[in-house]
Every structure is written in C-alpha cells, then in structure tokens.
Amino acid sequence: MATEKTEAIVGIRTSEKELIRDYAKETEKKILVAIDLSEYASKIVRYVSEAIPAGRAKIILFHLASDIPESLWDIEKSPGLRYKFGGDRVWELQQKREMQDFMERAIKPFRRSGYSEDSVSVEVRSPKAGVARDILEEVQEEYAAAVVGRKGASTLKDLILGSVADKITNRLYHIPLCLVGDHSDPKGILVAMDTSDGAMRALDFAADFFGAPDKEFLLLHVIRGLPAGELSREELSEDEIGFTAMAKKELMKAREKMESVFEVATKKLQQRDVPPNKIKTQIVSEVASRAATITEEAKKRGCGTIVLGRRGLSKVEEFPMGRVTKKVIMLEKEKAVWIVN
C-alpha cells in the first residue's frame, strides 16, 4: 500500500485504512499500468483507455519515482525557506511538479472514455529493489492484469535482453501481461487459438476485458506444415504419397476440432455484446512459422492487439513460455501483445 506521503503527491488517497475499505467493496478488476514520465507512457495510457471499456476494470497508474526528501514536502507552503535549498533539491521539487502534471494528463484519456473518478487512481512509489522487481512485487496482490511498455524512457536499454519488459515477461506467471508497442490500435483484436485450455483462457480474458460493440475480433488458428507446393510435384515417391494422404487427413481432423472451438468462442464474444458481423474466424495451414503467420495476419487485418496463451498444447516442451508466444513477442514490436496464463 502507498504511504500517506506518497499519496499526497497526487492527491488520490488520504489514508491506508480508506484504501483497504475501497478494495473490500470493489467489484471491478484491478489492472496495474506501469508508466514513467516519457512520451511513450502517453501511448500506453491511450491504448489502455481505449482498449478496455469503462466499467470493466479499475486502473492503477503505477509510477516509480526518485526519493523526495521530507524537507521538500512543505517547501512550496513556506517561500521564505526556499533560499536554503539549491541544486539537487530544486531539481527534485521540479520533478515532483512534472510528475503531478503528467499524472493529471494521464488520467484525462480515461475520463474521455467514460471511466468514473474512482475507477482510475495513481500509485507513486520510491524504487526499492529495481523497477522490474518492484512491479513484480506490487502485482502479487489483488491485480487481474498488468500492462508495461515494450520501451521506456531509455529506448535502447529497454530493447535489449535484460530490460524491464523482458524481466517481467519471463517472471510474471499468475496474471495476464500486456506489452504495449509503438502503434497499438485498440479496435482490432486477434486471438491466437488452438484446442488447449490455455487458448480458451486467452479467449475468456479477451471477451471479459475487450468485448464491446465497437471491437472487431479475429479468431486465428495456424497449422504448421510443409507448404502445399513442396508436395505438389508431378513425381512423388510412395513414402511422399503416403505422407501427403496422412497429412491431409490430419488437417481435416484439425479443422473439424477448431470449428467447434470457434463456435464456443464466438458465443462467448456475443455474450459480451460483440456483434456477429465483427467476429471473424480463420484457419491458416501449411505454413513454416506459426508466429510469423500470426503477426502477418494481424497486420493484414488491421489488428493492433494480439492475445495469446503463455503456453500451447505442448506444456512440458514449451515451459516456461511457449515457443510461438515467445517468437511473437520478439517479432511484433508495434502492436500490443497480451500474454494470458
């Protein structure tokens, strides 16, 4: 919980007891949105405010700020004391003002999207163990999902292995995580599907958090295999002919299974008021890379959001993260990618 001192920066909470009472009676799910004071953070805020309809979640804008000395908290109220503080402390006070201004601007997109006053709040903390570790510790309690930027204030640092986003992606297992890219359009949503429980959990999450009349969904299933041209030569060996027949038979079975999965998934989306004409299903087969196909179809269909299960059918082989999911994260730097556990 935030201290009274930290809460005073943004004027959101006045006491820890009041905060506990609010949580006791809340019905909306809590989503942590980690932001710094960069322009990139504004993109994260815009995406979340437009992607998740008002009334679906309580948004916590979570910011880790440098320490502000106790003596600075009342300095603005005592102008006569200002001359005693120079250099570093003046800079820290300026940081406090910039943070207040940024947080006020960050809340405005949620207001425009219909979020009530008590559905968006701000938590400002002093770093303890590091940005990634502090975020991971915070989301251990009471959160339904977390959102971080693929990049932060230091673009180069956050693009390399070991960045904040990378550490959180590999260590956050118990709730869904979103990595927001540079151009994340909240309208079109691609849900990568197979017959696993993980894929259906990903669909349930997408329906609960994004389902609305203005959203468009693409339910996509990708089957990897040899491209059709590889087995369409005029002269095939007996082994190749047998393999081709077996592959076609298995492909037919896979399609039949997915049609029933799509039917269930479509009903779930319709229950969230998504119109039937805004729900598309697609099976792409005989491709070399499932991850590349997912990103290509997202681009082709104008989907700015991709939702995947952390692991697919091969749970042991793909622990701790499915190969397809990991490759999509590596390939897709522009869109928002949700990883659902």
Cα 83 to Cα 85: distance, rounded to the nearest angstrom: 5
* Half-sphere exposure (Cβ direction) of 287: Cα atoms closer than 13 Å: 15
pLDDT over 80 (residue 14):
no
Residues 301, 164 share a domain = no
Q: In whole numbers, what is the pLDDT of the chain averaged over residues?
A: 77
pLDDT over 90 (residue 154):
no
> Which has the closest alpha carbon to 191: 287, 258, 275, 109?
258
pLDDT over 80 (residue 74):
no
Could you tell me the CATH number of the domain that includes residue 267? 3.40.50.620
pLDDT for 283 equals 92
Residues 215, 336 share a domain = yes
Residue 258 contacts residue 193 (beta carbons within 8 Å) = yes
Return the SS3 of 341: coil
Residues 214, 161 share a domain = no
pLDDT digits (tens, 9 = 90+) for 230-273: 445 555 555 555 555 555 666 777 788 889 999 999 999 999 99
pLDDT digits (tens, 9 = 90+) for 179-218: 998 877 788 999 999 988 889 999 999 999 999 999 999 9
Rg (CA), the chain: 24
pLDDT for 237 equals 56
pLDDT digits (tens, 9 = 90+) for 297-331: 999 999 999 999 986 544 444 434 578 888 999 89
**Alpha-carbon dihedral angle through residues 70, 74, 75, 80, given to the nearest 10 degrees:** -130
The full DSSP string for 11-63 is: T--S-HHHHHHHHHH--SEEEEEE--SSHHHHHHHHHHHHHS-TTSEEEEEEE
Residues 153, 261 share a domain = no
Q: In total, how many domains does the chain have?
A: 2
pLDDT grade for 89, boundaries at 50, 70 and 90:
low
Q: In the structure encoding, which two tokens stand for residue 292, read together? A: 């590349």
Strand 305-309 relative to strand 279-287, pairing:
unpaired
Amino acid identity, position 266: T
Cα 324 to Cα 322: distance, rounded to the nearest angstrom: 5
Domain region containing 255: 188-340
Share of the chain above pLDDT 90, in %: 43
Residues 325, 205 share a domain = yes
The dihedrals phi and psi of 306, each to the nearest 5 degrees, come to -120, 130
Structure-model confidence comparison of residues 151 and 157, the more confident one? 151
Residues 117, 211 share a domain = no
Could you say which of 161, 180, 199 is where a domain stops? 180
pLDDT for 225 equals 67
Preceding peptide of 176 cis, ω within 30° = no
pLDDT over 60 (residue 79):
no
Cα 109 to Cα 259: distance, rounded to the nearest angstrom: 39
Of the candidate ranges 3-12, 131-140, 309-318, the one whose mean pLDDT is the lowest: 3-12
pLDDT for 18 equals 38
pLDDT over 60 (residue 341):
yes
